[in-house]
Amino acid sequence: MDDSRVDEAIASGKVPAGITAAFLKESRDKASIAGIIFVTSLTLLIVVSRLISRAFVVRRFGFDDGLALVSLPVIEKICLVAFVGLCIELILLGSGRHFDYIQYVLDVPTVLKTEILDFAAHIIYTTTLLLCRISGLAFYHRICSKHKGFRIAIKAVFGILIAAYLPQLFLLIFHCQPLTGYWPYGWEPGMDIYTCLAWGLVYSVNSSVSLVCDMFLFGVPVAMLRMSRMPRKRKVQLGCILLPGTAVIGISIARLVLVILGQWQTDMSWSYDPMLVVEVSEIGATLIALSVPGFKPLVDWCISRTDPGVQSGGSYQKNGSGQRSKGTALNSLKMRSRHSMLAGSETAAYYDTEIRAGSQHENSSQEGICLDGRFTINVKKPKITPHRDLCLNLSSRCHARPRMVPWSRWWRHLLASSSAGGAAAQPMRHGPQQRGETIALLLPPSPVVDGYGRWLRAALESHRPTAMRSVFAWLALLVVGARAAGEGIFEFTPPLIPLEENADSADLFPVGDCFGFKLEEATIDEMQGAMRDGRLTSVNLVACYMRRTFQTQQYLNSVMQINPDALAIASQLDAERKAGKVRGPLHGIPFTVKDNIGTKDNLETTAGSWALLGSRVPRDAHVVARLRQAGAVLFGKATLSEWADMRSNNYSEGYSGRGGQCRSAYNLTVNPGGSSSGSGVGVGANAIAFSLGTETDGSVINPAMRNSIVGFKPTVGLTSRGGVIPESEHQDSVGTFGRTVRDAVYALDAIWGVDSHDNYTLAQRGQTPKDGYAQFLSNKDALKNATFGIPWKSFWVYADAKQQMALGELVKLIQSAGATIINGTEITNYETIVSPSGWNWDYGTSRGFPNESEYTYVKVDFYNNINKYLSQLKNTKIRTLDDIVTYNKHYSGSEGGYPFPNGHPAFFSGQDGFLASQETKGVQDQTYFQALGFCQSSTRNGINNALNYRGKNLNGLLVPVDPGQSYQIAAQAGYPLVTIPAGIHRDSGMGIGLGIMQRAWAEAELVRWASAIEDLQRTSGTPYKRTLPTWRGYLERNLPVPL
């Protein structure tokens, strides 16, 4: 691949920050191609020499030679040449370059081509190896045809090779569904239609099976040499002829190691070129090893320059008739007498043998080793009594690496060691502990054992010593494995109670060590790196976030309910990772969702209301299902403002009857932001990795800003509302929270997409990037080409002086990085549509025009949508909005059904929002449509016109997030908005946010510029960025908190 592609990719902005051109241009291609050509040439030379030797020197062809000459070499060479050609083509296409090169430099058609070629290459590779091995078995069969035991063994090995080939082929062909030949990466377009096995799993299994096949194949000559009786020198010489194949086993091990290393490394493709060389070497070495015995006569002839057929005492001596002997170079093989097939006297099993060997029988015309043997078996069989009532406790202690002792003593050693742990059940014993003792075992119905249970029981009942040894070996592995998996991973927590001496500092609630990993401010990439390196597991991560929640919950109340299955989910994902399957960047990462996002599991979905406690949703919300598919771990439900702020117009933000008051770690006495309060608070306080929230008007952006984190509210219709407790289909959107832009974008990439339960998502077709949004993450260098607008009169004038100062300094920093800043890019008709007094979703009515008010249509939408949602629930009597209103009145003390003081102080105006919606009866009248049309058209035109400033398209509008007019205009338009931390407000201690506005479906622009500004903040040393909370007022419990 031409390195100019690297420069082009960097220039186009496709390559993220931190990845250098020098790194992308690194290559092992030339060395790999040279190695492949060398191995191929050497292989062809030796195979051709073998055929010449057999045809013109020995002048004798055995069955294997005929088979090899007529079919296999032809097929093998075709396969070998095809495989070599495909390998070289794959290397030239860039498959063996750094993974970042494949993702950011190669275009999608090239990547797809490499996947198809890799698919074809490995089918050819697997088939070629099978044909080579069958050729080898034919050779071994020729030289051992007189020995019945070896004939049976060779046939058994043949069966094993075929039985192994079929699942290998099956895994290669059906690695992905639907079956297309592609093996798409997680970032490829259309990946969501595929269900694929992890490539590491497929290659590891196939490599392991191939290694086992090689061990069986080349175990045949090892057994022949072991049973031969001849001088040591002669045996060494014979070993040099028969045992080059053991090198193939080493090559198979090397391939397996490369596969394992590749799948656990982030830069997995960097091992691909060496792996191709090893695979070609494996085929070549197999052919060479099987050709060496036939090649030897040619070597002898070349050395002596005489016809080997006339040498005396040689393997090719002419007999009395002047004809060549039909023997072979191995005709002196003799077997040991009284050869013990099992090691260790305590097995009580011997094969008493009397064997003689010669070049041929007197009456036989077949060549080969003539072996006559008499085998008598004397075995004192242990009596095994299967017992159904005795349990082997797999969590018991045992030595991880027990001493190598005969099986019976080892078994007693294991039991004794297990008993030392105090947990293992002893086997039933009848009589003295000696050969013939009765051992009764029951394998418990454990997931660890179920897969092996039937096989182990059958082997126990078979009474064969070899089977017994295998059984105990497997039991040992199971005990050790169970110990590794089940041994306590939890420790006593460090001190969690905050100390007064640390008040008003980040040290008041320090984030503890997480099994050697620094959890505080850890990014998703850092968590993945630790799990990939084996320093951390998902179970560890969930446990650490649980501990952090226990530490902060009594103060922040960010979590409504912890998922009781979180650890089980994490352990399953750890098992997947161990097996080579990593679903993507969120694999094993814990997250929370706002309590109005449905989950069909052991969690409640109540919108914070006692009225919906115990209700069951019909399915997971679409966004939750997508995150589960991405491998994220649902940690729990986050607290929220009850009913997402729809129930009341004067209330305590972050409060719900079921969840209580959520408080921000930055200042526990003020509004924590809402209505997705717990989502923002949890991420900001390092109590969860990322979270989902919902927004109708500001409910993602506002809590993200106040908790100094990134909040991403996408275009209405990019993320499905299916399964979410609704407000307005015209403005509801599911958004993401993260401590960094990248983390928030990882979550967004996992949840966006079309959903049949939300027809608004159909509008995204043709509007979204094929490879998701993470590809647009950039660094500060991207700002050199950026142009931003400042709608000063529309929004900036309403921010207080301290916000204007902080955001102004950040804008200057952006300008110093090379961006162009244009002031005065105002929203069209801002004088009419922007509330001068702050956020007000009934601003039209305040002006005397309810037909220009957002609240006019939202309360109608809510009535219709909530009744439809409630009708689909099970296990609840709450079916309509009227039922909710009645419930709140009946339990006014906890649900504030009446205005305070007759209700609850957190719901000062009672449930006036519900009553206003109830009054509409869901009727969409003329006023409704006028209000909807006015708000949507005026805000959309206003933003579009501001972004097209004097005919120049701007990259975004930079806006203050507080006091809320900016995100209100974006919400009415259904347009995307992102907020990034921009420092801390000196008076309140709460976060300040810089918002970036864009038109519909322009999330890619927001990702590019938000990440670029974030990178600038982190590298410049500016104080106007994310800052850790200082926990102001951590002992105060005012209610309500000021809105």
Nearest to 715 by CA among 443, 964, 998: 998
Tell me the one-letter amino acid at 307.
D
The SS3 of residue 61 is coil
Q: Where are the beta strands (DSSP E) in 159-305?
A: 176-177, 195-196
User: Do residues 700 and 994 lie in contact, with contact meaning Cβ atoms separated by under 8 Å?
Assistant: no
Distance, in Å, from the CA atom of 247 to the CA atom of 830, rounded to the nearest integer, reads: 78
CA distance 605 to 722: 14
Q: Which tokens belong to 586?
A: 């969120």
Please give the DSSP secondary-structure letter assigned to residue 268.
G
Yes or no: say if 714 and 768 are a contact pair by the CB < 8 Å rule.
no
CB 768 within 8 A of CB 752: yes
Both structure tokens of 517: 């990993």
Name the burial class of residue 7, with classes exposed (0-12), middle (13-18) and buried (19+) by CB atoms within 10 angstroms of its CB: middle
Structure tokens at 524: 């998703």
d(CA 225, CA 364): 24
- Rounded to whole angstroms, how far apart are CA atoms 86 and 225? 39
- Is beta strand 710-713 parallel, antiparallel or unpaired with respect to 633-638? unpaired
- What residues contact 574, with CB distance under 8 A and at least 6 apart? 537, 538, 539, 588
Closest by CA position to 280, among listed 91, 469, 55, 434: 91
CB 966 within 8 A of CB 809: no
CA 95 to chain centre: 21
Q: Is the peptide bond before 672 cis (omega within 30 degrees of 0)?
A: no
* 421: amino acid identity, one letter: G
**H or E segment to which residue 1011 belongs:** helix 1003-1020
Catalytic: 594? yes
Query: Using the 8-state DSSP alphabet, how is residue 511 labeled?
Result: P
Angle subtended at Cα 81 by Cα 75 and Cα 85, rounded to the nearest 5 degrees: 145
Residue type (1 letter), 921 = K
Give the span between the Cα atoms of 970 and 968, in whole angstroms.
5
Assess whether the previous peptide bond of 178 is cis (omega < 30° from 0).
yes
CB atoms within 10 A of CB 222: 15
Please count the other Cβ atoms lying within 10 Å of the Cβ belonging to residue 412: 14
Beta-bridge mates of residue 984: 991
Burial class of residue 912 in the structure, from the number of CB atoms within 10 Å of its CB (0-12 exposed, 13-18 middle, 19+ buried)? middle
Q: Is the dihedral of CA 458, 460, 463, 465 positive or negative?
A: positive
Catalytic residue among 581, 594, 637, 1025: 594
Cα end-to-end span (Å), the chain: 60
d(CA 593, CA 603): 11
The phi and psi torsions of 865 (rounded to 5 degrees) equal -70, -40
Q: Exactly one of 699, 892, 917, 988 is catalytic; which is it? A: 699
Say how far apart CA 879 and CA 975 lie, in whole Å.
32
Integer Cα distance of 374 and 351 in angstroms: 9
The length of the chain is 1043
Tokens of 927: 């006023």
With contact defined as beta carbons under 8 Å apart, do 974 and 1000 qualify?
Answer: yes
**Residue 475 vs residues 434, 443, 456, 471: alpha-carbon distances, Å:** 20, 9, 9, 6
3 state DSSP class of 28: coil
Catalytic residues: 594, 675, 699
